[in-house]
Amino acid sequence: MEKELKTNRRDFLKIFATAGGGLLIGFNWTGCDSPKMKVVSDEEVLNSALNFNSYLSISPTDHVVIFSPNPELGQNIKTSFPMIVAEELDVDWSKVRVQQAFLDTEKYDRQVTGGSGAMPHSWERLRTAGATARQMLMEAAAKRLGVSVSDLKTENGHVIHGSKKLTYGELANEAALIPVPENVKLKNTNDFKIIGTPVKNVDNKAMFTGQPLYGLDIYREGMVHAMIQRPPFGMKLKSVDAEAAKKVKGVKDVLTFKNNVAIVGDSTWPLMKARKQLKVQYEPIDGKLESTAFHNQVFDEMLNTGKGDIKRQDGDVNKAFSSAAKVVKSEYQCPFLSHSPMEPMNFFAHVKADGVELVGPTQTPDRARNAAAEICGVSPDKVTVEMTRLGGGFGRRLRADFVEEAVELSKMLNAPVKLTWSREDDITGGAYRPAVKYRFEAALDRDNKLIGYKLRGVGINAGNCTRENNFPSGSVDNLLIESLEYKSPITTNAWRAPITNFLAFAEQSFLDEVAEAAGKDPVAFRLELLDRAKSNPVGEIHYDIDRMRKVVETVAEKSGWGKKQGVSQGISVYFSHRSYVGQVAEARMVNGAPVLDKIYAVTDCGIVVNPTGADQQVRGGMVDGMGHAMFTNMTFTDGISDQKNFDSYRLIKMKEIPEIETHFIDNGIDPTGLGEPALPPTGGAIANAIYKASGKRVRNQPFMEQEEMKNVKLADPA
Amino acid sequence: MANYKLQINGKSYEVDVDEDTPLLWVLRDNLGLVGTKYSCGIAQCGACTVHINDEAVRSCVLPVSAVKNDKVTTIEGLSENGDHPVQKAWEEVDVAQCGYCQAGQIMTAAAFLKKNPSPSDEEIVDGLNANICRCGTYHRIKEAVKLASAKTK
Ligand code: FES
Ligand code: FES
């Protein structure tokens, strides 16, 4: 950290080159200066701001510019990160303006959005950045007033000595010249004034008035528009007849590269029209094309006879199962899913003689840069990456395939190119959540104690489709977790809460099946297992037993577990991405069908930085988890998905959401991420509640397409 | 190609495009009004919602030739300073996650409230149900519509 801050000092002036230069994404107001005050323009603030470190600049106008390094895709990091810097700087939030930083691997070391990892990674760094600048301001004030630093305090953007008050703006020039202090003191968490208060999204105004913010909003002088027709999975290009397509007015050219057919022109609509005129023929690469029926066969064959990769083995499962009084066995399956963010994939690339300019929505700007450098044969430092706001990501934008396409085209055309994927391209274009099937087996002894547990999973391009150290591992004497993978030409990728987005549903549903077989209450059963893991752990334990216990107990309490008449409750609890979330769903029977009324969620993500943002992330994750568990299906015929747009690729709608009540455990522990952890438990809580209400156990997703769920009506608010 | 005169946000524009060009692409590609979003292109999500006179319309399937003299309002023209009651409610409730769907949600809500200024909860859900939000901000959208309705009273 110390070294990093020193290096950053050398970027003192460099920052203006990146920050000031005609940003398309604009400069974002966070607060509002009071209407009586003169409104200081963004330019004025930026041009006069003095850089203190990678994260912040202070302007003599008293405004503070805080740079947000990580891509913003709706996880609200562009608000929560600056809050942390501002907290330690001790500045009035209404004086803060936030700007998205460009990719800069010298200044920042994890400009990635994925894995809910940014917050734990940056918490200390952001605090130190703010505290360091505050210390420099105090030292400058001490010099000016001829007093000692220990006699000074700060408050709301002022350094205070007795009755004397100096604003940060007045001190900025002098403070920027102070040597960067090595060891700065961080605030006591009890003294936080901004962290822990609900701070509104810094882009609200821009979003709600239609300002250009997203990748698709990029338009540049001389820019060529492009769309690409890609082959189905497992096929390659055989021939193209572009005669008719080229005749569409506004189309400039049709070119092929790497099995792709690209149409370029001067605006988007002619390209969409021309694509319908393209006559493209494909041929299978190795004679075989995959469909859903084939995948189902693969699952069963591999589950029955495939050789599993043993991920964890405790005790002796064979012995446990042969001595069992009762055995419970179930299979759970999920389809592929497209990420389908509302903004389809797109990117702007301009390959020039001396480098490459990239602009657009990416979760991994560094990967985008390296991909461009490789294609163009230049060193990565010749590539600039400007991150726009992302119209959602869900993991799809961790890939750089769409960046590579834009770069290839710009290189071929020798022009700036904006590549746009249509919704159909986005849904059929791959890198899906892998389809997976699990087989669970549990052995109970005569006293209904869980003595054996087996999980065997087959994933299509899933890598390891199990998480061997998840609860209940550690609480069962004999346990075997195996993972198998089938390699398919259908591309897959991390999808919000990778693997656990389905595994959690399966595990939490199965635990309820086991609890029932043991004649135990689902909450009591989980607590019993946690007690066992605590008092007499089996093998390694990778979750914090006390934190998990606390969310189970709290969600049971908040939901009035087991105390409500006429309401069927289902519980689910999950630890993923360093946070703990417990949920209880409630269903009622109406005219013979279960209706989902409400879900309670209790989250332990340590310190809640921004309560309004945290509530959003939990809600959003749950709606996402519910929607895909209930409704969304993706099936394949001959290497291409049958669902191509939102008419058949079914997303959850407003009518279908139950009431959600969120709670957070406030334990003062350093914060962990929230973009993903609330999603995994939701499917399980819902399935368990539906079972309790109707006696129908759904084991496959999407629920609504399963036989058990025919005639079920949802979310009819009470 | 043909020449079309359009009345958008109280201003006149002229564009030279094919008659089947959806209004969405005229707004975005020809006129630089990028607040209106593309997401599905087949009238399934509402991201591209604009007002034609006072009606919420999906601009991705509305050919420019059908607009004629009708008054078009986009998110950029909903209010002069971003202070339409619906915009204010959206800010107050802090509705957005990624924000990409929100211009369409706001335009849909504004047209809806104009027709039904004091909707019941059920009517709000009916009125907004056809707009997809992939981030799942539905609870806050509902709350913001209620707040906007209260603000207009
Ligand atoms: S883009 Fe028009 S409804 Fe989806
Ligand atoms: S806020 Fe992201 S799609 Fe609605």
**Residue B106's CATH number:** 1.10.150.120
Which structural domain range is residue B42 located in?
A: 2-77
pTM of the model: 0.94
Q: What pLDDT is attached to residue A117?
A: 72
Task: From chain B, pick out residues whose CB is under 8 angstroms from the CB of A394.
Answer: 134
User: What value does the mean pLDDT of chain A take?
Assistant: 91
Instruction: Specify the long-range contacts of residues A521-527, CB closer than 8 Å, at least 24 apart.
Output: A521/A562, A522/A570, A522/A571, A522/A688, A523/A552, A523/A556, A523/A561, A523/A562, A523/A571, A526/A552, A526/A571, A526/A573, A527/A552, A527/A553
Whether A15 has a pLDDT exceeding 60, the answer reads no
pLDDT-based confidence at residue B37 (cuts at 50, 70, 90): very high
* E runs forming strands in A513-614: 568-576, 579-590, 593-604
User: Does B143 lie in the same domain as B104?
Assistant: yes
Q: Where in chain A is the domain with CATH 3.30.365.10?
A: 3-208, 215-285+345-420, 436-709
Whether A21 has a pLDDT exceeding 50, the answer reads no
Number of domains into which chain B is organized: 2
Q: What pLDDT is attached to residue A387?
A: 94
- B87-116 pLDDT, tens digit per residue, is 999 999 999 999 999 999 999 999 999 999
User: Does B94 lie in the same domain as B66?
Assistant: no
Whether A718 has a pLDDT exceeding 60, the answer reads no
More confident: A628 or A19 = A628
Task: From chain B, pick out residues whose CB is under 8 angstroms from the CB of A250.
Answer: 18
- Among chain B residues, CA nearest to A30: B91
The answer, yes or no, to whether any atom of ligand 1 lies below 6 A from the CB of B7, is no
Architecture of domain A436-709: 2-Layer Sandwich (3.30)
User: Nearest Cβ partner of A342 from B28, B39, B75?
Assistant: B39
More confident: A54 or A413 = A413
pLDDT-based confidence at residue A715 (cuts at 50, 70, 90): very low
Cα separation of A76 and B7, whole Å? 36
User: Does B27 lie in the same domain as B11?
Assistant: yes
Cα of B42 from ligand 1 centre, angstroms: 6
Q: What pLDDT is attached to residue A714?
A: 59
In eight-state DSSP terms, residue B28 is I
Task: From chain A, pick out residues whose CB is under 8 angstroms from the CB of B137.
Answer: 616, 619-620
Contact call for A342 and B35, based on CB within 8 A: no
- Which conformational region is residue B136 in: left (phi greater than 0), alpha (psi within -120 to 50 degrees), or beta? left
pLDDT-based confidence at residue A27 (cuts at 50, 70, 90): very low
Task: From chain B, pick out residues whose CB is under 8 angstroms from the CB of A272.
Answer: 41
The answer, yes or no, to whether any atom of ligand 2 lies below 6 A from the CB of B9, is no
Pocket test for ligand 1, best of B23, B50, B60 (most atoms within 8 A of CB): B60
Tell me which of A16-20, A35-39, A64-68, A191-195 is least confident: A16-20
Whether A711 has a pLDDT exceeding 90, the answer reads no
A422: nearest Cα among A633, A272, A547: A272
CATH of the domain at B42: 3.10.20.30
Prior bond to A365 cis, omega within 30? no
CA distance B144 to chain A (A): 13
Where is the domain boundary, B45, B77, B109?
Answer: B77
Q: What pLDDT is attached to residue A33?
A: 36
Q: Positive or negative, the Cα torsion across A135, A141, A143, A145?
A: negative
CB pairs under 8 A between A and B: 181
* CATH for A215-285+345-420 (3.40.50.300, 3.30.365.10, 1.10.645.10, 1.10.540.10): 3.30.365.10
Q: What pLDDT is attached to residue A112?
A: 77
User: Does B8 lie in the same domain as B71?
Assistant: yes
User: What value does the mean pLDDT of chain B take?
Assistant: 97
- B55-73 pLDDT, tens digit per residue, is 999 999 999 999 999 999 9
User: Does B94 lie in the same domain as B63?
Assistant: no
User: Does B73 lie in the same domain as B14?
Assistant: yes
Contact criterion met (CB below 8 Å) for B13 and B31: yes
Q: What pLDDT is attached to residue A524?
A: 98
The answer, yes or no, to whether any atom of ligand 2 lies below 6 A from the CB of A74, is yes
Query: Stretch B126-133: mean pLDDT, rounded?
Result: 97
CA distance B77 to chain A (A): 8
- A664-706 pLDDT, tens digit per residue, is 998 999 999 898 999 999 999 999 999 999 999 999 999 999 9
Cα separation of A697 and A708, whole Å? 7
Q: What pLDDT is attached to residue A113?
A: 74
Architecture of domain A3-208: 2-Layer Sandwich (3.30)
Query: Stretch A139-145: mean pLDDT, rounded?
Result: 96
What would the 3-class secondary structure string for A128-145 be?
HHHHHHHHHHHHHHHHHH
Ligand 2 atom nearest to CA at B135 = 2
pLDDT-based confidence at residue A25 (cuts at 50, 70, 90): very low
ipTM tops 0.95: yes
User: Does B68 lie in the same domain as B90?
Assistant: no
pLDDT-based confidence at residue A114 (cuts at 50, 70, 90): confident
Cα of B134 from ligand 2 centre, angstroms: 5
Query: Stretch A529-549: mean pLDDT, rounded?
Result: 97
- A216-257 pLDDT, tens digit per residue, is 999 999 999 999 999 999 999 999 999 999 999 999 999 999
Paired strand residues for A584: A571, A600
User: Nearest Cβ partner of A654 from B32, B45, B128?
Assistant: B128
